[in-house]
Structure 1
Amino acid sequence: MKWLEETYRGPDGIDNRRAYVVCNVDQQNVDNWLRTPIIYVNGANRLHVEVTFTMRDCNEFPGNARSCKETFRLYGVQLMNNEKYQNIWNSDYWDLIDRITADTGRYSKSDPTTAAVNQEIRSYTVTKDAVYFAFRDSGACISILNVKV
């Protein structure tokens, strides 16, 4: 199973929004990648990536959570204008920007009022013309609600 595109209600409860969701906690050797479209940096030397997401608490999956994690990783790869992107899903090809965790809180079925929307900002130094960002899941239960660069 890979990242799925789903719809959720925005914070005002009126408009529908797109989210990318993954939850393969019952499987071993989970390695799910989600990549952004190409982003041209237009002379910038640093980009800031703001990720808004929710994450389920691993305690929600007792017994069958073989690979449950409460983190995911953010990667970047840079290209010159005339360079072609290599469709490589290997961490050696990508720059690890950070391992991200749900600092604000995690969703729990036993207490739905504790559902927390997390927002993390990371910066990435760029020296080339364009960049891709990728999110790598290794067994978390995540919904990426928004990405702003």
Structure 2
Amino acid sequence: MELWLHLSFLSTALALDEVLMDTQMATEELNWLAVPSSGWEETVAVDRNFNAIRTHRVCNMESPNQDNWLRSGFIERGEARLVYVDLRFTMRDCRSFRSPCRETFSVYHREADSLGDVEAPGVSGLREAYAKAGEVSAELVFTLGEGGGVNRATVAVGPLSKAGFRLAFRDRGACTNLLSVRAYYRRCPPAILGLARFPTTATGPAPASLLPVGGSCVDGAQEVDTPPTMYCGGEGHWLVPAGACRCRPGYRGNRELTACTEIEDHNSLSNATLGGRPSQNSSGLSCGQLEEHNALLLANGQMLQEQAETLGKLAEAVARLNATLAAILRRLPGLLEEEPEGSSSRGEGK
């Protein structure tokens, strides 16, 4: 029975990333809000392919009590309930400074229903309006005159429910260069699993969410007991199958259980079994024909059983014959080596 319940190993289909914002793709100034204006500044850098990219840097450790905010523009969330923010940045080693410094910065976010929905001005307005999403620390640091690696970090932002959101980056005394910011959400891809079709689905509001999604049986298939259901996991993979589909009578599923195809020769097989008589209507066999058909099948089954028993007895006889031949072959060398009695005396008398 072609039940898709047994196909949980197919739930590893690749997740889809829907990008909402990527500063590496920006061709004009980002014009993000820097508060105070002496903190973060937008700069232009060149990547390894000699493409101009927009970056933001801050390095004000000489003055104590730093609190520098960088706020992005409005980002429409689309279907996203949870957004991932990928960051690329460099960080200068605090040991190269005499004054106290940090090798971390923080990521914040604020939801909004429209582009014009903004927070109160100033640092105090940002502090009150924005929620902290995560703290980002550097694993790779550099000093002047020496190279340093690029750090990468991912911060989850959510759950989200309004039309869009803004990101904010807070510096408390680091020397860092924010090379790129990429915001995206994940979707479970469209899939056909176990004769059931599932649509593209945005993941739930948390990384560990399991979002139930109902499926529909493919053409030529029907539900079995309960409707097919899969769960869209937070990483964008289909998980935990439930329910089932199977092919309708007169159809068969392919090996991958992604389609049911009509059995083209089922009418000819029925006619051959019934002696070439066609069915009385297009919907199938009549009751009398079904009884005759079942009787023929029963007779064929009995005949096959008798043939199987005969073959079994024949196999036993062949096995006994092989055992006898093997015993003879084992004794044959000894018989050939034995000489007839009196052969030596006759030779001496000549």
TM over 0.5: yes
Aligned-partner SS, 2:88 = strand
2:176 corresponds, among 136, 142, 149, to 142
Q: CA deviation at 1:119?
A: 1.0
1:116 offset after TM fit, Å?
1.1
Retained in 2: the 8 A contact 1:33–1:136? yes
Correspondence for 2:209: none
Q: In the alignment, does 2:118 pair up with 1:81?
A: no
Give the whole-Å Cα distance in 2 for the aligned partners of 1:77 and 1:17: 25
Distance (Å, rounded) in 2 between the aligned partners of 1:106 and 1:119: 12
**Are 1:121 and 2:121 matched, yes or no?**
no
Contact 2:74 2:115 in 1 (8 A): no
Structure 1: which 5+ runs fail to align? none
Q: Between the two proteins, what is the percent identity of the paired residues?
A: 28
Maintained 8 Å contact 2:90/2:178 = yes
Alpha-carbon offset, residue 9 of structure 1? 2.1
SS of alignment partner, residue 128 of structure 2 = coil
Contact 1:43/1:129 (<8 A) preserved: no
Partner deviation per Cα, 1:91-136 (whole Å, 9 max, x = no partner): 2321100111112x011225x23x0101111111112111000000
Aligned-partner SS, 1:92: helix
Q: 1:87 Cα deviation (Å)? A: 3.5
Structure-to-structure mapping, 1:48-127, within 5 angstroms: 48-61=84-97, 63=98, 65-66=99-100, 68-81=101-114, 84-88=117-121, 89=123, 90-103=126-139, 105-109=140-144, 112-113=146-147, 115-125=148-158, 126-127=160-161
1:22 and 1:70 map into 2 onto residues whose CA distance is 12
Question: Which protein has greater RCO, CA pairs closer than 8 Å, 6+ apart?
Answer: 1
Aligned to 2:43: 6
Residue 139 of structure 1 aligns to which amino acid in structure 2?
A: G
Displacement of 1:2 after TM fit? 1.3
Question: What is the rounded CA distance, in whole Å, between the counterparts of 1:87 and 1:134 in structure 2?
Answer: 14
- Greater radius of gyration (CA): 2
Matching of residue 26 in structure 1 with residue 59 in structure 2: no
**Does the residue aligned with 1:91 lie in a helix, a strand or coil?**
helix
Residue 120 of structure 1 aligns with an amino acid whose one-letter code is A
Cα gap change, 1:26 to 1:41, in 2 (>3 Å): same
Separation (CA, whole Å) in 2 of partners of 1:82 and 1:9: 31
Task: Specify every segment of 5 or more residues in structure 2 that has no aligned partner in the other structure, as ranges.
Answer: 1-37, 184-350
State how far apart, in whole Å, the 2-side matches of 1:27 and 1:83 are. 34
Structure 1 residue 3, shift from structure 2 partner: 0.8
Cα drift, residue 11 of structure 1: 2.7
Residue deviations 1:17-65, cap 9 Å, x none? 221110001111111111111001112101110111001010011x2x2
Other structure's SS at 2:43 match:
strand
User: Relative to 1, partners in 2 of residues 1:116 and 1:43: Cα closer, same or farther, differing over 3 Å?
Assistant: same
Measure, in 1, the Cα distance between the counterparts of 2:39 and 2:115.
Answer: 30
Q: Give, in whole Å, the separation in 1 of the partners of 2:130 and 2:110.
A: 5
